[in-house]
Structure 1
Amino acid sequence: ENLTSEVEEVGIFGPDMIEKEMLTAGEVGYIITGIKEVGSIMVGDTITDLKNSAEKSLPGYKKPKPMVYSGLFSIEGGDYENLRDALGKLSLNDSSLDFVPEVSVALGFGFRCGFLGLLHMEIVRERLEREYGSKILISTPNVAYKITKSDNSMIEVKRSSDFPSQEKMLKIEEPYVEATIITPKDYIGDVMKLANQKRGNFKDMQYISPERVEIKYAMPLSE
């Protein structure tokens, strides 16, 4: 659905916001509009002149797919609205952040958030605390599982509490990664032992120098 708004200001970052008369081809800048609801726009949307509108949206953008999911809850129970607004604003310049409302019996109202990985999760937590003053609790992260139920329907589960009972499941699939590990040759045994403990499947090993080895494993993302 198209959204129309007046342009109140445009400019560039230098690194502070510097107002300009216009932005030209090749410049990376900002635009200030009268849009009040953060959810009305998304990263990847095409901005065009109302009087000379583009016929189609610009192609090529694909929203990153979250790999790790965790619950975010405000330490201060009544701060749910502020946390929602902070996540909305953060998602405007971090398109890989995904979140939906969630309710926990123990922690109350919060959000189930999708991240690219554990490092991304820590960066989001730090930014929420530093930039928006949000004090949050993060639940144990997990990955999304694909479950084939006994009636042959398929569902995606992003938290352990949503798993069907055992008798209702035919198959469980989990995401795997192709891991490339570079290590000094003296640690080959220890690295392989650790990878095997993490349910890794050995794929290949080759020396990239007399002292360094490249080892490849297929491993569950949850590990």
Structure 2
Amino acid sequence: MGRPVIGVLGGMGGLASAAFVASLYRRWAHRPEAEQPRVWLYANPAIPDRTTMLEAGQPEVLAAALTRDLRALLAAGADRLIICCVSAHAVWGWLPPDVQACTLSLVEALVRDPRVGTRRRLVAATTGTSAAGMIRVAGPDPFLRPGPAALASIHQLIYALKAGLDPAAAVPVLQTLAREAGAEGVVAACTELHLVAPHWPAGELDLLDPLDCALDAL
């Protein structure tokens, strides 16, 4: 029996999903090349904008597009799937049960990560993810939600990263917003912020990245 194949549905945006695959292989760099994971990356930028679909009340349209491409990865031989977009998880309940069973939820990987603890972190997400209310834990919730102005700034920052903004430029913006909120860190609740993680300095504010949590959970 061969090694399991990890199927990554990306392109939302493309730089973030490519960076995730690179991060996956960095995790396995200590192993001989022939023992490292097999990965199928299906980057499809034509998947409808997640926030647009959610705000338009069309979750079923987004779910249909995701289901089509996730099934394509399964047909290509993938065993374990990852949707490289946090906002897309707002339509998790619209995905067929057999597809859900093969897919590692970024939201579940995040909220179950032992690093969550009681540390107060600002949730940095798109307006679509924020409105969906996905990022929360059972019991006392340590996550801080940005106010309207801060949320708008974060949303604009995320789309600037999609358009090619230097990820290092996002660090001071996010840290300022976190400090203003009285947070001890930031939740990178958009996969675009995976691009920012390598530039995040060690210090009093940490960055909790769901894609990093997913790598731990694989």
TM-score by length of 1: 0.24
Q: Which has the larger radius of gyration?
A: 1
Decide which structure has greater strand share. 1
Decide which structure has greater helix share. 2
TM-score by length of 2: 0.24
- 1 or 2 for the larger relative contact order (CA 8 Å, sep ≥6)? 2
